[in-house]
Structure 1
């Protein structure tokens, strides 16, 4: 049986390659093909710059031509590009872990809330929820972010080098604040692709279900059929790299 490859549309900020991150060794049991989206940075994407949408579409089409089975990204704020990318390719895509919110909400008793821990709560809007296919009018959510923290500042750099301990600390700080303000939260979604390294710590301390980008990627690959490359991708403007993690 052919092995399935996940395509990841990445920001221009250099991908963090520590274990547990999307570009890190051993995070996935399947191959990953990564492509850098020209012009997309942590700063402009999280600040709502829609001018890079065409670059996301172009790079998604390139990944499809190279045979990936499904496509995601390394920034949850890219949910605003979901409709355009989905219309341009014929394989499953899920650009943001925010897509998991409705699924998680259906597992909860009536009257309970989903908590979203995000890179920047000030910039997370209904527009991002709509891009992920849902509305806060229909699903009760509250969000808290790590904006202003040590790891937030680090991940905005062109070559970020955050420590896992700093990310865990900053994510836990946001989570505690969120739960203190919203005691009806019964499950959590981590919006940022850098947050899965903190996922288990959040589960252990809160005792709540936690979904993140690794949850999303594993779901995409499980449901997607294997594919072969369609054509040469010469002439497309993008920076590419790939690796095959150990099983």
Structure 2
């Protein structure tokens, strides 16, 4: 048998651009490697803090994200994603710059999920920061106009700890924030048929949200599993 080289790293088809953060990443979090049933390759984008990306609109960070994405491709990944849904802002620029498929944001699932639902039902978005998730973020991700939006802002733990990059996280309180925000979103929009979690740090609570609302829950985990399955199809 003969094989061909050309990459520095093999077996990790998905490269993940990581924000520069130190808050706890529990199992289920995109930045916890045990979350994935397949190998991934991480690249930290220095200076891209959660606050700067989510509340600061990622201003001035495009070039460093492009450079980091190119490094991932040079290392050998076949596709790139990110660990913040707000990076939908850079979707087209990153795809154009690296020449491999790019899936920046869980929000890119919204239009697709809508097509799965019965007539009269639509998808709602749960975000970590409703006050700074702008129409431009949604437009760049292809989210239909008028999509209902809920947020964990105003809760006692999740948004503050993540965006504040705190070194401790009360997991039970964070779970409660996510469940309460999801319930409020559904109560305000009874025609919802599914939820998409914008924030990659919400994944550990997806099952709780599903149980509390009775709705299918799509997240960066569902998106990247689908993405990776196309990059590395199963052999039968």
Question: TM-score when scaled to structure 2?
Answer: 0.88
Unaligned runs of 5+ in 2: 4-9
C-alpha separation in 2, matches of 1:179 and 1:62: 41
1:19 aligns with 2:27: yes
Task: Say which SS state the counterpart of residue 104 (structure 1) adopts.
Answer: helix
Residue in 2 aligned with 1:142? 148
**CA separation of 1:144/1:77 partners in 2, compared to 1, >3 Å: closer, same or farther?**
same
User: CA RMSD of the aligned region, Å?
Assistant: 1.9
C-alpha separation in 2, matches of 1:55 and 1:78: 13
105, 108, 115: which one aligns with 1:106: 115
**CA separation of 1:15/1:32 partners in 2, compared to 1, >3 Å: closer, same or farther?**
farther
Residue in 2 aligned with 1:238? none
- Larger helix percent: 2
Q: How many residues align?
A: 223
Task: Say which SS state the counterpart of residue 102 (structure 1) adopts.
Answer: helix
C-alpha separation in 1, matches of 2:29 and 2:163: 16
**CA separation of 1:16/1:32 partners in 2, compared to 1, >3 Å: closer, same or farther?**
farther
Q: 1:161 offset after TM fit, Å?
A: 2.9
1:165-176 mapped onto 2 (5 Å cutoff): 165-176=172-183
160, 164, 178: which one aligns with 1:157: 164
1:69-218 mapped onto 2 (5 Å cutoff): 69-136=78-145, 140-149=146-155, 150-218=157-225
Q: 1:31 offset after TM fit, Å?
A: 1.0
1:57 aligns with 2:66: yes
C-alpha separation in 1, matches of 2:54 and 2:231: 28
Q: 1:9 offset after TM fit, Å?
A: 0.7
C-alpha separation in 2, matches of 1:160 and 1:32: 24
Runs of 4+ in 1 over 4 A off after TM superposition: none
